[in-house]
Amino acid sequence: MNAIKLTSIVLVGTAAVAVSAASAQAFSFSVGGTAVAGEGYKSSVAGAQTIDFNSGSPSNSVVTYSGIVNNIVQGSKSGQHATPAGNESKFLTISQKNANVVGNTGSVTLNFAKALDYFGLYWGSVDTHNFIDFYSGGALVKTFGGGDISTTAKGSWTGASDNLYVNFFAGAGQSFDQIVLRANGTAFESDNHSYRESAAVPEPTTMAGLALAGAGFAAARRKKQKTQAS
């Protein structure tokens, strides 16, 4: 009888942890930033650090950009890339279609030395062939396409609905340490990348589940000891 009760209690606790882990995987995004003259938009998220590409060397002690060849540009060029609306500065362009023509690559990878819970960018000319992949410990946890972000996603370099500052947030208790920006066409333009170090802690439901499981084990052990003493 005691063995049956122990199994029941442990399963309840495990179920709570499993449900919590599933919900914790949810990533979310919001649209909106701070307008900056000549720079388009920048992040408004508290504690975020911003890379604007104006120096031409975006990597620092926290993030390393790989795959960049001639991807940092300024101004528009017909058939290759278009300046994000309101942006007169340098920006990042990615194009698989024109990789052999302009010498840049079809994807750029951002590797972070610290776990993050937030990433933002000024996304210009949002297209359905633009994608952002989020990884944690080498495992893909979420992909967003241009069609998920914009109501039109038709690649307009002047339209307000296709030039957006987009903020991505990891689910509660979750984080990411690598991002891949990629384009299956022409092109994926972005600027003012922002990131924030994660302060992730277990979700309350996760902690409750673990506590429940622990309490089950402790109760079963006490009952077993009492039985043996009798």
pLDDT tens readout for residues 209-228: 444 445 554 555 555 555 55
β-pairing verdict for 186-197 and 139-145: unpaired
β-pairing verdict for 34-36 and 91-95: unpaired
40 vs 3 pLDDT, higher one = 40
The predicted-structure confidence for 167-177, as pLDDT tens digits, reads as follows: 999 998 899 99
Q: Which fold has domain 29-205?
A: Jelly Rolls (2.60.120)
Instruction: Taking each helix axis as running N to C, give the angle between helix 2-24 and helix 204-229, from 0 to 180 degrees, rounded to the nearest 10.
Output: 170
Range scoring the smallest mean pLDDT among 54-68, 136-150, 199-213:
199-213
Q: Is this prediction's pTM over 0.85? A: no
Nearest CA to 188 among 163, 161, 170, 152? 163
Which whole number is the average pLDDT over 104-121? 92
Phi, psi torsion values for 209, nearest 5 degrees:
-65, -45
Which whole number is the average pLDDT over 176-201? 90
Distance CA 76, CA 62 (A): 30
Q: Evaluate whether 90 touches 54 at the Cβ level (below 8 Å).
A: yes
Residue-level pLDDT at 186: 81
Which whole number is the average pLDDT over 15-26? 45
